């Protein structure tokens, strides 16, 4: 479980730590938080932003637990044999992984039409986050 500090308390900064003022990733309220990461466990302090006024819900308090989850993926995995769903997953570079996604979207659209690929997002899919997705020409983005 991640360590949580009382509001207004700064995490001790170690040589490999960095504190970033950000927002909770879970819902459209975008509650303000300060996350200190680098040395584990990561710590989270709610900020006094207009939406959360120094508090967080249970999902917000648990946000840093994802950073240390043993099944968290930190590098792209692709099929050893492209297109073979029985092929084992192997580690790949980001460029190769993105190239494969772009190629698969292109093949799908060529076969079934340009309107067959879409992206569903929730409240935390901000305009900044949706911009790279919208770069795929004609991609339908639906906020749910």
Kindly tell me if the per-residue pLDDT of 108 is higher than 70: yes
Q: What is the mean pLDDT of residues 6-35?
A: 76
Identify which has the larger pLDDT, 142 or 128: 128
pTM comes to 0.60
Q: What would the two tokens of residue 144 be? A: 């749910």
Q: How many CA atoms lie within 13 A of 55 on its CB side?
A: 5
Could you tell me the fold of the domain covering 3-68?
N-terminal domain of TfIIb (2.20.25)
pLDDT digits (tens, 9 = 90+) for 65-99: 887 788 989 999 999 998 899 999 999 999 999 88
Angle at 42 between CA 38 and CA 47, to 5 degrees: 115
């Amino acid at each position: 479980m991640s360590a949580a500090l009382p509001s207004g308390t700064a995490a001790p900064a170690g040589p490999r730590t960095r504190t970033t003022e950000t927002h909770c990733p879970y819902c459209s309220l975008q509650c303000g938080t300060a996350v200190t990461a680098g040395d584990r466990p990561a710590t989270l302090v709610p900020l006094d932003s207009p939406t959360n006024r120094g508090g967080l819900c249970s999902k917000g308090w648990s946000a840093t637990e994802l950073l240390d989850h043993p099944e968290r993926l930190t590098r792209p995995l692709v099929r050893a044999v492209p297109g073979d769903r029985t092929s084992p997953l192997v580690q790949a570079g980001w460029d190769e992984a993105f190239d494969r996604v772009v190629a698969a979207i292109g093949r799908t659209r060529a076969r079934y039409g340009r309107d067959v690929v879409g992206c569903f997002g929730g409240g935390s899919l901000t305009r900044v986050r949706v911009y790279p997705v919208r770069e795929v020409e004609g991609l339908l983005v639906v906020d749910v």
